C-alpha cells in the first residue's frame, strides 16, 4: 500500500484522538457548531430545531442527521464530525471515546507505517524524480507540468512525503485537465489530502459521491480511508458493513490485510460485538503476530 494512505491512517488520527482524549473530559461544556449542511437538527425540550453554523449545543444534547447531512462541532480544541444518517446522543459519543483507549488507537495507527513496510516509498515513479526528498516549500508547489495524469502523479508524490498542502495544489491543476474518470481519482486523492491534513469534514465531502472501478489502483485504499473516516465520525457499524463485505479483496492483499483486520477489529469493538472483534484480532495476529499493530489491537479489543 502506498505510504500516503499509511500516513493518513496515523498522523491525522494521532492529532485528532490525542486532542479528543483531553478535551472531551471537560464536563458541562457546550459544543459550537462550526459547519452544518443538509437536514441536521438538535432536540431542545422535546422539539427538534434546525442546526446551523454558529449555534451551540449542550454536551448532553441529542442531534439528528438525515441522509446527506453533515455537521461539525467543536469542544475546546477537539472537533467532532457526524455524517451518517441517524440520531446521536452527544453524551454517548463523548463516553464512547473514553471506552476505547485513544492513546492505544493512535499508537496502533502510527505503528502501521512500520508494519506495512516502506517498500512503496522506494518505488518512486518518473514524476517524483529528484524532488522526492523534500516537498515542503512553496516554490515546489508548481513544479509538475503536463496533463492531468502528471498532476495526479505529482500529488501522490506529495502525499507520500506528507505534504498535503502541496498535493492539493497539484490536484487543483489536475482538475482543469481531467477526464470524467480522472475526476474520480482527483476526488479520491483530494479526500486523502484533506484527511492527511486533519480536515475530516472536507475529506468526507470529497469522498462522497465517488466509487472506484474494479480496475482502479486506488480502490483498496479508498475502502481503508472510508472505513477510517467512518470510525473517526462515530459510525462503527457503517465501517463494519463496508469492511466485512471485503469487495476489493483487502483480506487477501499482503500489504493491506493487517490494517484491514485492525480497522475491522476496532469497528467491531466499538459496535459491542466482542466475538467478531476477537476473530478479526485473531486473523491480524495470524498475519503479523509480533507487529506493534497486532499488539496494540489486542490491548484495544481486550480493553473495557
> Residue 122 has what pLDDT?
31
List CB contacts of 79: < 8 A, sequence separation 6 or more.
Answer: 16, 19, 34, 72, 73, 200
CA distance 135 to 139: 9
Q: 2 in a domain, yes or no?
A: no
- Mean pLDDT over residues 26-45, rounded? 87
Residue 134 lies in a domain: no
In the prediction, which pLDDT does 128 show?
33
- Residue 220 within any structural domain of the chain: no
**Could you tell me if residue 72 is inside a domain?**
yes
Whether 73 is covered by a domain: the verdict is yes
Mean pLDDT of the chain: 79
In this prediction, residue 15 carries a pLDDT of 40
* Bigger pLDDT: 183 vs 96: 183
Please say if the pLDDT value at position 289 is more than 80: yes
Q: Decide if 212 is inside a domain.
A: no
**pLDDT on residue 23:** 42
32 in any annotated domain: yes
Instruction: Tell me how far apart the alpha carbons of residues 46 and 48 are, in angstroms, rounded to a whole number.
Output: 7
Q: What is the mean pLDDT of residues 2-13?
A: 48
Query: Domain tally for the chain?
Result: 1
Q: Is pLDDT larger for residue 134 or for residue 232?
A: 232
Q: Is the pLDDT of residue 97 over 80?
A: no
SS3 70: strand
Task: Output the CA–CA distances (angstroms, integers) from residue 159 to 171, 174, 188, 217, 296, in the order listed.
Answer: 11, 15, 12, 16, 26
Tens-place pLDDT, residues 108-146: 544 443 333 232 333 333 333 323 334 444 444 545 556
> What percent of the chain is modeled with pLDDT above 70?
74
Amino acid at each position: 500500500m502506498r505510504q500516503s494512505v499509511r500516513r493518513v491512517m496515523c498522523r491525522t488520527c494521532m492529532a485528532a484522538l490525542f486532542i479528543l482524549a483531553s478535551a472531551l473530559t471537560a464536563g458541562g461544556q457546550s459544543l459550537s457548531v462550526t459547519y452544518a449542511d443538509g437536514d441536521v437538527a438538535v432536540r431542545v425540550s422535546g422539539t427538534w430545531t434546525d442546526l446551523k453554523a454558529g449555534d451551540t449545543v449542550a454536551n448532553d444534547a441529542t442531534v439528528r442527521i438525515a441522509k446527506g447531512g453533515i455537521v461539525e462541532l467543536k469542544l475546546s480544541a477537539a472537533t467532532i464530525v457526524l455524517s451518517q444518517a441517524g440520531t446521536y446522543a452527544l453524551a454517548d459519543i463523548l463516553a464512547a471515546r473514553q471506552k476505547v483507549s485513544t492513546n492505544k488507537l493512535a499508537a496502533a495507527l502510527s505503528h502501521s507505517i512500520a508494519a506495512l513496510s516502506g517498500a512503496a516509498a522506494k518505488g518512486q515513479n518518473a514524476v517524483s524524480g529528484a524532488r522526492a526528498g523534500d516537498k515542503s516549500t512553496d516554490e515546489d508547489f508548481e513544479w509538475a507540468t503536463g496533463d492531468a495524469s502528471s498532476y495526479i502523479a505529482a500529488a501522490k508524490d506529495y502525499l507520500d512525503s506528507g505534504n498535503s498542502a502541496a498535493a492539493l495544489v497539484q490536484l487543483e491543476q489536475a482538475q482543469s485537465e481531467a477526464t470524467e474518470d480522472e475526476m474520480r481519482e482527483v476526488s479520491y486523492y483530494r479526500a486523502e489530502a484533506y484527511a492527511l491534513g486533519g480536515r475530516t469534514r472536507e475529506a468526507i465531502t470529497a469522498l462522497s459521491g465517488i466509487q472506484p472501478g474494479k480496475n482502479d489502483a486506488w480502490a483498496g485504499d479508498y475502502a481503508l480511508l472510508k472505513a477510517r473516516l467512518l470510525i473517526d465520525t462515530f459510525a462503527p457499524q457503517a465501517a463494519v458493513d463496508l469492511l466485512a463485505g471485503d469487495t476489493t479483496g483487502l483480506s487477501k492483499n499482503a500489504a493491506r490485510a493487517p490494517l484491514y483486520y485492525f480497522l475491522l477489529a476496532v469497528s467491531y469493538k466499538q459496535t459491542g460485538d466482542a466475538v467478531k472483534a476477537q476473530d478479526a484480532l485473531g486473523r491480524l495476529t495470524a498475519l503479523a503476530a509480533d507487529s506493534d499493530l497486532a499488539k496494540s489491537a489486542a490491548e484495544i479489543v481486550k480493553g473495557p
